[in-house]
Structure formats: C-alpha cells, structure tokens
Structure 1
Amino acid sequence: MPVVEITMIEGRAYEAKAKMVEKVTDAIVATLGAPRDSVRIIIREVPPWHFAAAGVLKGTPPAHEPCQPCAG
C-alpha cells in the first residue's frame, strides 16, 4: 500500500487538491503498478509563516495578543 505525504502551504482550493490527488494516484498506479484502491495520500497544510524556502519564511503570522506566562 503506497502512502504519499504532501506538505504544502495552506489556502489552495478544494478542487485543486482533488485534481492533485487524482494525478498523484495515477502516477503511483502507472509507475509502481499498485492497485488504485491501495494508494493513500495525506495532505498536510501549513500556514505560510511555518514554511520557508531559501532561508526565507513565506509569510508572517497574523497579529495576536501577547502570550501569557503559563500558570504553574
């Protein structure tokens, strides 16, 4: 059972992800000969401020209240 994990910046349309999953499944079936119903795909979406390329974050976090110290 092939399992493919895809990590990408959040915000893409459902339709785009559905098409991607279909094409990735097609590629696994064609190259590995795996049965279509055995292919599993996990999409992990991360906010742009948790994703960097070439040493640069792709976004900034939204403004929020400062963190409070933990009680304990």
Structure 2
Amino acid sequence: MPLVEVSLSEGRDPATIRALIHELHAAVERAVGSPAQSIRVIVREVPRTHWAAGDQTLAERDEISKGG
C-alpha cells in the first residue's frame, strides 16, 4: 500500500489541495502500478509561523517582502 505524505505551508484553497491529491494519486498509480484503492495520500498544512528556512519563518519572510 503506497503512502504519499506532503507538507505544504497553509493558505491554499481546498480545490488546489484536491487537485494535488488527484495528481499524486495518478502518478503513483502509473509509476508503481498499485490498485487505486490501495494508494494513500496525506496532505499536511503547516502554519507559516511553524515553517522555517535559513533561520527565518515563512511568516517572517512574508513580512519582509511586504516591507514590514
């Protein structure tokens, strides 16, 4: 049973996340040949205050890019 886990920063609309799930599912089905009903996809949305790169959270980067 293939399991795909994806972490994204919060803020995407449900339709975008649904499209991502669909595309990931289709890719695994093609690549691995697993039956559709056995493929699992988990999408985790991480608050921008809890995701950091280069010792700076995404929320902090947002503020800097806004000129704040």
Q: TM-score, normalised by structure 2?
A: 0.80
| Residue 26 (structure 2) pairs with residue 23 (structure 1) | no
- 1:52 and 1:30 map into 2 onto residues whose CA distance is 33
Q: What residue number does 1:70 align with?
A: none
Q: Which runs of 4+ in 1 moved over 6 A?
A: none
- 1:8 and 1:54 map into 2 onto residues whose CA distance is 17
| Residue 51 (structure 2) pairs with residue 33 (structure 1) | no
Q: TM-score, normalised by structure 1?
A: 0.76
Q: Which amino acid aligns with 1:34?
A: S
Q: Which amino acid aligns with 1:50?
A: H
Q: For the pair shown, which has the larger CA radius of gyration, 1 or 2?
A: 1
Alignment gaps of 5+ in structure 2: 61-68
Q: What residue number does 1:47 align with?
A: 47
Q: What residue number does 1:56 align with?
A: 56
Which structure dedicates a bigger proportion of its chain to helix? 2
- 2:33 and 2:54 map into 1 onto residues whose CA distance is 35
- Give the CA deviation at 1:52: 1.4
- Give the CA deviation at 1:5: 0.9
Q: Which amino acid aligns with 2:21?
A: V
**Identity in percent:** 33
Alignment gaps of 5+ in structure 1: 61-72
